[in-house]
Amino acid sequence: MADSHAGAALAHQFEDLEQQHEAASLGMWIFLATEVMFFGGLFAGYTIYRNLYMPGFDAGSHLLNVTIGAINTAVLICSSLTMALGVRAAQLGKRKTLLTFLICTLALGLAFILIKLTLEWRHDYLEGFAPGLNFTFAGPHAKSVELFFCFYFLMTGVHALHMVVGVGVLSVLLALAWKGHFGPQRYNAVETAGLYWHFVDIVWIFLFPLLYLIGGRY
C-alpha cells in the first residue's frame, strides 16, 4: 500500500482508512435520517390537510403542469445515474471519467432548478397561485386550493434548496477532482455527496406523485 499517500488522506483521529471511510459513510446515513424526519413533518402536514380538504387539493393539483413535472423527474433520475457512475469512477481512480460524470450531474441538477424556476414557479406566480403574495384563484374551494399551493411551494421550495446545496457540493467536488484529489484511497467525499444527491432525488420521487398526480386526473 502507498503508505505516504494513505497517510495524507487519513485524519489524525482515525486508526486507518477503513475506519475513516466507515465513519464518513455512517455519518452521512445518519444525516439523511434527520432529513427524512425534516421532510416527514411536511409530508405529515400535507397528508392531514389533503384528507381534510380532498376536493380543494385535487383542484389545486390539476392546475400544475404534469408534463414539466415529468420532464424534471426524468432529469433527476438521469442525474442519479451519472452520480452513481461518478462515484464508481472515483473509486477506480479514473480522473477524466469522474470529471465527465460530475459535470453531467451538475448540468442535470442545474437544468432541474432552471426548469423549476422559469417554467413552473414563475408561471404559477403569474397565474396568481402564490399564497400570501398574489393568490387570486377564485374558483370553487379557493381556500383549500390556497393551502395546497402553500404546501406545493413549501415542499418544492425546500427540495429545491437541497438541490442548490447539492449543486454547491458538486462544484467543490469538481474543483477537487480537477486537481486530482480523489483516488482509490480517497473517495469518501464523492461517495457521501452521492448519497446526499440520491436522497434529494428520492424526495422528488415522492413529491411528484403527491403534488402532480392526485385526484384522478387521468
Task: Tell me which residues touch another protein (CB under 8 A).
Answer: 11-15, 19, 22-23, 26-27, 30-31, 33-35, 37-42, 44-45, 48-49, 52-53, 131-133, 143-144, 146-147, 150, 154
Contacts for 29 with CB less than 8 Å, ≥ 6 apart: 195
Contacts of 40 by beta carbon, 8 Å cutoff, 6+ apart: none
CB of 96 to another protein, least distance (A): 30
Phi and psi, residue 34, nearest 5°: -65, -35
As measured in angstroms, the least distance from the Cβ of 51 to another protein is 11
H or E stretch covering 160: helix 142-178
Nearer to another protein, 132 or 216 (CB): 132
| 72 vs 192, beta carbon nearer another protein | 192
Tell me how far apart the alpha carbons of residues 147 and 131 are, in angstroms, rounded to a whole number.
8
Q: Which is nearer to another protein, 31 or 178 (CB)?
A: 31
Which CB atom, from 8 or from 70, has the smaller least distance to another protein?
8
CB of 164 to another protein, least distance (A): 16
Give the other-Cβ count within 10 Å of 190's Cβ.
24
CB of 8 to another protein, least distance (A): 17
The residue among 27, 70, 81, 24 whose CA lies nearest residue 211 is 70
Q: How far apart are CA 117 and CA 127, in angstroms?
A: 14
Q: Shortest Cβ distance from residue 85 to another protein (Å)? A: 27
Nearer to another protein, 42 or 111 (CB): 42
Nearest to 50 by CA among 215, 197, 178: 215
